[in-house]
Amino acid sequence: MRAFVENRFGLLALVIVSLIAMYGIAYVTEPTPIPPPHAGPKRVAVESVTAVCPGAKGEQVNVYLPGALNGETMEDAKPFVTNGPGGLEAGYLTRTAKGLAGIRCTEPTPATWLVGPGPANADVRLHLTNADKAPAQADVQVYAAEGPISGDAGIGLEIAPGEHKEIDLKTLAPSADVMSLSVTTVVGRVAVAARTTLEGGGVDWLPAAAPPSTRVVVPGIPGGGGLRRLLVAAPGETDATVQIKAVSEDAEYAMKGRESLDVPAGSVVALDVTTGVAGSAAALVLTSPTPIVAGLIITGMGERTDVAFTAGTPSLELGSAVARNSAGSQLLLTALGGAGKVRVQVVPAKGEPGAPYEVEVEAGRTREVKLKAKGDFAVVVTPVSGEVYGARVVEERQKSGVLITAQPLAPARMWTLLPPLTDTPDVVLP
């Protein structure tokens, strides 16, 4: 042994064997590495916004930018187009003999979904606007109770640079009494809006609905009298069995006799939920293994019956703002999965913005928040905690009845969520 140690080569061999033994023990006893956390969507600031509204000669459009509200009068019936930095919102209200109507100026998007009465029961006018200097092309598909019915008539609609098309949906789907409509931009950028006038009276603009999803929240169902009619579409190739829960001011519950709804593939089904919400301010939560799109028809009371619409919308994770409000405006806020809290600020057309104040919403409840301001004003809603959904409703009580319009609180244009990106050579491989 002494000779082995004194031999320099033997000593080297002993060191190597010892190192191998130590590395072997370390490898065997090494703890299992913790996988990196799943990367979620990244919140990114929006740098610029283009908002487009159908024209209404002589009407005032309110344009909101963070901290300021301005009004612009439309000189003609051409579409109103405004460009600005992130956070821009625009919209207007109109009062006519047919009712009160409100619209949020929309952005050009790759796809837009709308849900409401069909051309068999209403005058529905679809507005497509190409605000860019390049040509655009869009596909329009109408789904009804009997399935997709617009065929090829709405495919490949060309819209020249700066052009605006107004389409009477009776030319695409004359037999639909209820409908879900999708507008897909194939080339360029197209802004979409639709104005609906019921045969029996009442008028409003259809709000953009959340795209097909297995969970849809429809907020902004006002309390009081009148009908409440839910519309659910399953635009895919699979039938949908939809579970429905109501979230009112007092409880979260399954409506008796309306706990579920079967929707055949490619069709739209209507469900009267008037007695289900029992005149309370509420929201509806729909879940389905098959992606669905949903909206709701609201009618007022009185000799002169008005109509309003709400639709599935994302939560207030990115905040929201409504540019045009007036007397009789209120927020309807719903908290799911736990208590929620938001910050509300009123920005008048004249004078300094009001001091922000916080509103708490109990878990599984809907809360009404009256908005107090003189004249036209914008309202800004910022998330503080929890999963909160909402809508802005305007009600004007007259001797002949209640005028009403609703607008779901769409995500503010100040932020957007981008999916996580991974470097991979797959993007360049054939």
Q: For residue 6, is pLDDT > 80?
A: no
What is the reported pLDDT for 213? 98
pLDDT tens column, 7-47: 555 555 555 656 565 655 555 555 555 555 556 677 788 88
- Is 76 contained in some domain? yes
- Is 146 contained in some domain? yes
In 349-414, which ranges are E strands? 357-361, 365-370, 377-398, 401-408
- Is 126 contained in some domain? yes
- Is 262 contained in some domain? yes
Q: What is the mean pLDDT of the chain?
A: 90
Quick check: helix, strand or coil at residue 13?
helix
- Is 3 contained in some domain? no
- Is 396 contained in some domain? yes
Q: How many domains does the chain have?
A: 1
Confidence of residue 3 (pLDDT cuts 50, 70, 90): low
Q: For residue 4, is pLDDT > 50?
A: no
At a CB cut-off of 8 Å and minimum separation 6, what does 145 contact? 176, 177, 178, 267, 268, 269, 270
At a CB cut-off of 8 Å and minimum separation 6, what does 105 contact? 51, 52, 53, 61, 80, 82, 89, 90, 91, 323
Q: How far is CA 255 from CA 176, 314, 362, in A?
A: 27, 23, 20
Tokens encoding 291: 């992606």
Confidence of residue 427 (pLDDT cuts 50, 70, 90): very low
pTM for the model stands at 0.88
- Is 43 contained in some domain? no
pLDDT tens column, 253-271: 999 999 999 999 999 999 9
Exposure string of 80-103, with b = 16+ CB inside 10 Å and e = fewer, is bbbebebbbbbbbbbeeebbbbbb
pLDDT tens column, 324-350: 999 999 999 999 999 999 999 999 998
Decide if 145 contacts 121 (C-beta within 8 A): no
Domain of residue 126: give its range.
52-416
- Is 84 contained in some domain? yes
Confidence of residue 374 (pLDDT cuts 50, 70, 90): confident
Phi, psi of 352 (to 5 degrees): -80, 150
